[in-house]
Structure 1
Amino acid sequence: MSIEADLPGFQKEDIQVDLDDYSITIKAIRSTESEEKREKYYRRERQYGSVERVIPLPAEVITNSSSAKYEDGVLKITLEKANPTISQRKSISIE
């Protein structure tokens, strides 16, 4: 199973991926600061932006076997699915 998230403009260090038994959370925070000094004025700008997404996981995902790669503004997360077990038919006696 794989998940892809477009995160253009973010650096790899700005992205955090958290995984638990039920969901995967992708958080990205970006802040920039620019400054311009001229003879008659001084301009300083700060920009801040964040994004967060929680994605529920199916029960068959193995959470301890996962990997993530960020390249060209795209985060790719790979999760391993468990092999389906063969269900065994069982009779239950009624008392």
Structure 2
Amino acid sequence: MALIRWEPFREIDSLQREMNRLFESLSPTTTSKENLGVAFIPPAEIQETPAAIQLKLEVPGMEAKDLDVQVTAEAVSISGERQSETQTEEKGVTRTEFRYGNFRRVIPLPTPIQNDKVQAEYKNGILSLTLPKFEAEKTKVVKVNLG
């Protein structure tokens, strides 16, 4: 039976490297190659009233012209692109924690809406949409002639 020398500090160092790699892959502020696939998804809030659906999306740092909003009777699609600003510092080091690039979010609606009567407002990084519900045809009463 051979004796194996145990080096606890080497194992601790290995564990620390693995933990750092795990946290880097989960952190939205890193620019590692493994994390480039993580997309920005704007948070949304939806509220239903008897007449309409109120939808709010948080898209700070963007202008209204950079957003593309498409509405069908069943869903809302919001897409856009955040442009990065290039900065040069004296020592050649630039660090950014903002996420740049394309994003798209499709939100299914709980009831059909009238997509030609949607009202939108964009103020202080909040996109607010008022989506009026589809007015169902009133029930028609038809007399059936039995003979």
Q: TM-score, normalised by structure 1?
A: 0.70
Residue of structure 2 in register with 1:8 after alignment: 60
Encode CA deviations 1:38-71: one digit per residue, 9 max, x unaligned.
4xx5567896233211112322x11111121100
Counterparts of 1:76-87 in structure 2 under 5 Å? 76-87=128-139
> In 2, distance between residues paired with 1:51 and 1:32?
14
- Is 2:111 the partner of 1:56? no
Quick one: which of 15, 34, 40 aligns to 2:86?
34
Q: Is the 8 A contact 1:28 1:52 kept in 2?
A: yes
Equivalenced residue count is 89
Question: Structure 1 residues 28, 87: closer, same or farther in 2, change over 3 A?
Answer: same
How much is the aligned-residue C-alpha RMSD, in angstroms? 2.6
Q: Which amino acid aligns with 2:117?
A: S
Structure with the larger helix share: 2
For the pair shown, the structure with the greater C-alpha radius of gyration is: 2
Q: Which amino acid aligns with 1:32?
A: S
* Amino-acid identity (%): 24
Q: TM-score, normalised by structure 2?
A: 0.49
Structure with the larger strand share: 1
